[in-house]
Structure 1
Amino acid sequence: MNRYIVFHERMAVDLGHARLLVGQTLRALMHDQYYFNGEPNSQDVGSLLWQFGEDQTLAMYLLSDGESVGADQAELQLPASFRIEEDGECSWRRENLLAELSSLAVAGKLITQVQGVIDKWPDQHSRLVAFKITFETGDYLIYLNRGDDAVVLINEMPPEVVGVDTRLEVIV
C-alpha cells in the first residue's frame, strides 16, 4: 500500500505510530528541504525524520489529500530530483532542522507528549492535519499540512479556521 494515500481508518494508525515518540529522548530532527535551482524553498519544510533512542526513527510526512499528515517507522526516501524544461531543477536534501530552528533547543530533551490536531469540516470526515510534540522544557513543535506545504510551528498553534471544529487528540 502507498504510504501517502488517505483512508478512513488511517488516522488512528498514524496517531499510534506518533505515540512511539512519547518518553523518548530526541537525538536529531532531520527534514527533506526542497530546492529549486539550488535555492531552498522556505515555504515547505518537507518530511520530518525523528531520530531517538539507540537507533530508532519515525517519519512524519504529508498525505496525498493536501490536508492530512501521516507517521510511520518505514525508511524515508528523498524524492528524486527532476528538471522542469531547460532552466528549472527541483531537488531535495536531508538537513538538520534543529540547526535552522535555533530558537528551539530540544536535542537531547525528553518528549513528554504527542497530540494529534484534528479538523472536522461540516458534513465531512475528520482529518489529522498536524502533530503536536511537547518536550520536557514545555516547548512544543507542530508539524502541519498547510495545503501541500509542510510547516513547522514553534510554540504556536495553527490559526483557527471559521466553520471548522479543531481539537487536540491526546495520545496516551
Structure 2
Amino acid sequence: MALRHTFSFTRTAQDLHNARLLKGKRLSGLVYDQYYFADEKTLGDIDPIEWRFGEQEILSMYLLSDGESVGADLYPTDTPAAFEIEPDVTCAWKREDLLATLSIPCLEGEMISEVEGILDSFCGKAPRLVGFKVQFESGDFLVFLNCGDNAVMLVNALPPTPVGVDSCFVTSIQ
C-alpha cells in the first residue's frame, strides 16, 4: 500500500481493470472524506472516494502522485487524522455521503452498466488515465476526474477537452 498513489505507466491497465469491476454492481453508497479547516467545510476536492456495493464491498478511486492520473483498487481509503496548526485552528476530515453532497441520492440502488477510462494525451506524449466515467442503467453517469491538485465528480456532464489534448474513452488498455 506504500506505493498506492505512485504513478507508473505499467499500472494504468490494472487501474482501469479495477474500476471496471463496478460494472454489473448495484451502488449502495458513495462516500468521500470532506476537508474542514477551522470547522469550515472547504469545497473543491473529493479525493479519494469509495464506491460501495454488494455485501460490504468497496472500490476506491483516487489521484496519483504525478498530478495528472487516477488510480483504482479494492482497498478502503484511510481518513486522515485531524491535526491542530495553531490553538483552536484544526484541519480535519469527515467521512460524508457524496450522493447527498451532489444532490443525486436517486443513484443509490442503481445498477452500474458501464465503466470507461478517460485517456488524455498531449503533444504526442504517452496517454494518461485521467478519469473514469461510470454509467448507470438509468442513463445517468458520473465522471471522476483529476483536475491537477483536486479531483472532481461531474454529474451527467462530460469533461472539457483542453486545446491540444487528445481525449478518448476506453474499456481496456494494452
Separation in 2 of the partners of 1:18 and 1:94? 21
Separation in 1 of the partners of 2:39 and 2:67? 25
Any unmatched runs of 5+ in structure 1?
Answer: none
Any unmatched runs of 5+ in structure 2?
Answer: none
Separation in 1 of the partners of 2:69 and 2:87? 33
Q: Spell out, residue by residue over 1:30-53, the C-alpha distance to the aligned partner (whole angstroms, 9 max, x if none).
A: 111111111111111221111101
Separation in 1 of the partners of 2:88 and 2:27? 40
Higher deviation after alignment, 128-137 or 37-46: 37-46
Q: Hey, what does 1:98 align to over in structure 2?
A: 99
Shift of residue 101, structure 1, vs aligned partner:
2.0
Distance 1:163 1:37, change over 3 A: same
Separation in 2 of the partners of 1:65 and 1:80? 24
The answer on whether the counterparts of 1:45 and 1:149 sit within 8 Å (CA) in structure 2 is yes
Tell me which amino acid in the other structure corresponds to 1:44: D
Shift of residue 55, structure 1, vs aligned partner:
2.0
- The 5 Å alignment of 1:72-151 reads 72-86=73-87, 88-103=89-104, 105-151=106-152
Q: Hey, what does 1:48 align to over in structure 2?
A: 49
The answer on whether the counterparts of 1:104 and 1:154 sit within 8 Å (CA) in structure 2 is no
Separation in 1 of the partners of 2:87 and 2:159? 38
The answer on whether the counterparts of 1:34 and 1:46 sit within 8 Å (CA) in structure 2 is no
The answer on whether the counterparts of 1:14 and 1:70 sit within 8 Å (CA) in structure 2 is yes
Computed over aligned residues only, the root mean square deviation of the Cα atoms, in angstroms, reads: 1.6
Tell me which amino acid in the other structure corresponds to 2:91: C
Shift of residue 104, structure 1, vs aligned partner:
5.4
Identical-residue share of aligned pairs (%): 47
Q: Hey, what does 2:166 align to over in structure 1?
A: 165
Separation in 2 of the partners of 1:13 and 1:85? 42
Separation in 2 of the partners of 1:104 and 1:123? 40
